[in-house]
Structures are given as C-alpha cells and as structure tokens.
Structure 1
Amino acid sequence: MSANFWTDQKFTKRDYTKQKLPKGDYENCRFVDCLFSKGYLDNQNFVECTFEGCDLTNTNIANTTFNDVIFKDCKMVGVQFETCNQLLLSLRFSGCNLSVASFHGMDLPRIIFDGCKFHQTDFTDSNLIQAKFPECDFENALFDGTHLEQADFTSAVNFNIDPSINHINKTRFSEGGLIGLLKKYDIVVT
C-alpha cells in the first residue's frame, strides 16, 4: 500500500494540470469537474471511484489501477487505456468523449459504454465479448482482429466493422446498422 490513502472523499473543480494529484490509493472517492488534461494520473490506484464531468484529455494513465471505476460525462480524448494496469481492471463509461483514444489489445468482456463518442478510436485486437454500446457513435473507429462476439451494437451509429477481419458471431445489430458491416464493399443501399 502506498503512503497516501484517501477514502470517501469528494474532489470538486480541482485543476491537476499545474499540481499533480498526489500519488496514492483512492477508494470510494468522487472527482467532479476536475481538470487533468495533458497531466499525469500514472501509477495511481482507484477503487470504486467515480469521475464526473472531468477533462482527462491526453492524460497519462500508465500503470494506474482502475478497479470498479465509473467515468460519467468526461472528456477523455487521446487517452491510451492499454497502458493502465490490466489486473483487476473494471470500468464503465457513460456520456464520455473517447475520441482518438486507444483500447488496443485490451481484455474488456462485458464492458458497458453508454452514449459515448468513439471518433477515430482504436479497438484493434481487443476482447469486447458481450460488450454493450447503447447510443454510441463510432465514426472512423478502428476494428481489426477485435472480438465482438455477442456484443450489442443495436443502437450504435457510424461504425464500420469488417466481418472478414473481426469476430462477430452472435453480435447484435439493428437492421439499419447492417450497412456498417458492408461499407468495404462500397455498395449503395436505398
């Protein structure tokens, strides 16, 4: 355990771009409207924490543990999630902008992304089996070698998933979303 330990604390409207969040263990803490943009959250431990309305754009999260952590209405553009500690990883996202982020090679079965934006986000070689993506926007997101078996894209939009290079057995799509599986063929559906 690290020297610093915080539990049941609320951190509101703090700017951690000038002075870093102290290294340590945070349990059952809430971060509300905090600014971490281009900062460092590396080598931290977050357990049962919530980030609400925070800006984590291009934040370094290398070796950070996220165990049962919720991100709600956060801006997380360019975050490289594959650099965080994968042990005990448990995340949930709601209303977040995850554009240009990367989940490359991550093991995220049954994860829930609710109402998130994934413009140009990298999901290459990820395990997203049984993941749920209600109301998500995948404009120019990258799926290559991605395991999407039994995932739910029924209300997702703008995805381009090539069935010949991804694993999509029993993946759920709406009838209108089927065009996202055919884009590589450059066909016109009327």
Structure 2
Amino acid sequence: MMQMRMYHEEQDFNKLSFVSAEVQGTEFNLCRFDNCDFSDCAFHETIFTDCEFSNCNFTSVDLADCALKNVRFADCKMLGLDFTGCRDFLFKANFDNCRLDYSVLSGKDLRKTSFKGCSLLQADFTDCNLSAAVFTSARLDGAVFVACNLEKADFRSALGYEIDPDKNRLKNARFSADGLGGLLTKYEIKID
C-alpha cells in the first residue's frame, strides 16, 4: 500500500493511479486532478481546498476525516461514496455530470450545492441542508429526502424524484409542473 504525506499547492495531477493508496495528513491547495484513478484509496485526515477533479474514479474511496473545502468534481465516477466521514467545517463541493448513485450525503450542509447533470440514483440525503441547492438535469430516482431543508432548492429540470412535503421543508423550492407528481407519490393518486 502506497503512503503519502505532504503539502501540494497549485499542482496538476494527470492520469495518475492512486489505487489502494493511503493518503494521510496530506493537504492539497488549488490543485487539479485529471483522469486519475482513486479506486480503493483511503484519504485519512486529508484536506482539499479549492481543488478540481475531472474524469476521476472514486470507486470504494474512504473519506474518513477528509476535508472538502470548495471542491469541484466534473465527470467523475463516485458510486456509493460515503461523505458522512468528511469534516463538516467549511464543507463545500459542487458536482457536474458526476455519477453519485448510491452515495451517502446524509447530515451534510449542502447549501447552494450544484448537482448539474448528475446521476444520484438512490442517493441518501437524509437530514441535509439543501437550501438553494440546484439539481439541473439531475436523475434522482430512489433518492432519499427525509428531514431535509429544501427551501429555495431548484428541482425544475430534475427527474425521477419523490419528495414528501410533510417530511421536508420546501418553502420557495422550485419545481416544474411536470415534476409535481414527485411531490404527491405518497397519496397514490394518478395525474393525467
């Protein structure tokens, strides 16, 4: 198992394999990662600040005590990723065209987070603050929204969501007329 400890600033990492690596106590500031494979990697006590990940694979990654501060993910494979181990302090991430199916984001403060063009099938958002979050063209089939703050969230172009208005805060959330059925699922009514 490869181990890495150090500080990186304004560096580009291209087409590197971190498969099964243990990255501990390392800090990345203003770094870019392109086409990197992080499969089975453990990021323990690792800090990412103002970093960008593009076309990266995060299959089975361990994010224990990892900090994501203003991080952008684009076209990344992030299936089943568990974000609950990430530090809450200054947690901020945005996602463009990422596969976040089966990911666990429960309890996270995701205010103003963008999930543009993402697949979030069966993702768990239990107890999240998603106020003013944007789900532009996101797939949300089977995603769990319970005890969430969805105030001012934008679901107008999102697809496949089922959200119980009695179990979430929805004031000023935006939905398209076509998506209203996703708010009425529990009533088992038919909308034609």
Write the letter of the residue equivalent to 2:44. Answer: D
Query: In structure 2, what is the Cα distance between the partners aligned to 1:19 and 1:46?
Result: 16
Tell me the CA shift for residue 18 of structure 1: 4.0
Write the letter of the residue equivalent to 2:114. Answer: I
- Alignment match, 1:70: 72
Query: In structure 1, what is the Cα distance between the partners aligned to 2:72 and 2:126?
Result: 23
Tell me the CA shift for residue 20 of structure 1: 3.6
Matches within 5 A, 1:20-99: 20-21=22-23, 23-99=25-101
Query: In structure 2, what is the Cα distance between the partners aligned to 1:148 and 1:142?
Result: 13
Query: In structure 1, what is the Cα distance between the partners aligned to 2:30 and 2:21?
Result: 22
Write the letter of the residue equivalent to 1:39. Answer: C
Write the letter of the residue equivalent to 2:75. Answer: D
Identical aligned pairs, as a percentage? 36
Tell me the CA shift for residue 90 of structure 1: 1.5
- Alignment match, 1:118: 120
Write the letter of the residue equivalent to 2:180. Answer: L
Unaligned runs of 5+ in 2: none
- Alignment match, 1:171: 173
CA shift digits 1:135-177 (9 cap, x unpaired): 1000100011111011000000000001111111111000000
Q: Is the 8 A contact 2:20 2:39 kept in 1?
A: no
- Alignment match, 1:136: 138
Tell me the CA shift for residue 42 of structure 1: 2.2
Tell me the CA shift for residue 23 of structure 1: 4.2
Closer/same/farther in 2, CA of residues 178 and 30 from structure 1, 3 Å limit:
same
Report the 3-state secondary structure (helix = DSSP H, G, I; strand = E; otherwise coil) of the residue aligned with 1:86.
Answer: coil
TM-score when scaled to structure 1? 0.95
Q: Is the 8 A contact 2:24 2:44 kept in 1?
A: no
- Alignment match, 2:150: 148
Tell me the CA shift for residue 67 of structure 1: 1.0
Report the 3-state secondary structure (helix = DSSP H, G, I; strand = E; otherwise coil) of the residue aligned with 1:31.
Answer: strand
Query: In structure 1, what is the Cα distance between the partners aligned to 2:62 and 2:84?
Result: 11
Is 2:7 the partner of 1:12?
no
Report the 3-state secondary structure (helix = DSSP H, G, I; strand = E; otherwise coil) of the residue aligned with 1:46.
Answer: strand
TM-score when scaled to structure 2? 0.94
Tell me the CA shift for residue 22 of structure 1: 6.3
RMSD across aligned C-alpha pairs, in angstroms?
1.5
Report the 3-state secondary structure (helix = DSSP H, G, I; strand = E; otherwise coil) of the residue aligned with 1:177.
Answer: helix
Report the 3-state secondary structure (helix = DSSP H, G, I; strand = E; otherwise coil) of the residue aligned with 1:153.
Answer: coil
Tell me the CA shift for residue 117 of structure 1: 0.6
Q: Is the 8 A contact 2:135 2:155 kept in 1?
A: yes
Unaligned runs of 5+ in 1: none
Query: In structure 1, what is the Cα distance between the partners aligned to 2:60 and 2:159?
Result: 25
Tell me the CA shift for residue 32 of structure 1: 0.7
Tell me the CA shift for residue 21 of structure 1: 4.3
CA shift digits 1:27-77 (9 cap, x unpaired): 111111111122212211111110100010221111111111100000111
Write the letter of the residue equivalent to 1:140. Answer: G
Write the letter of the residue equivalent to 2:55. Answer: G
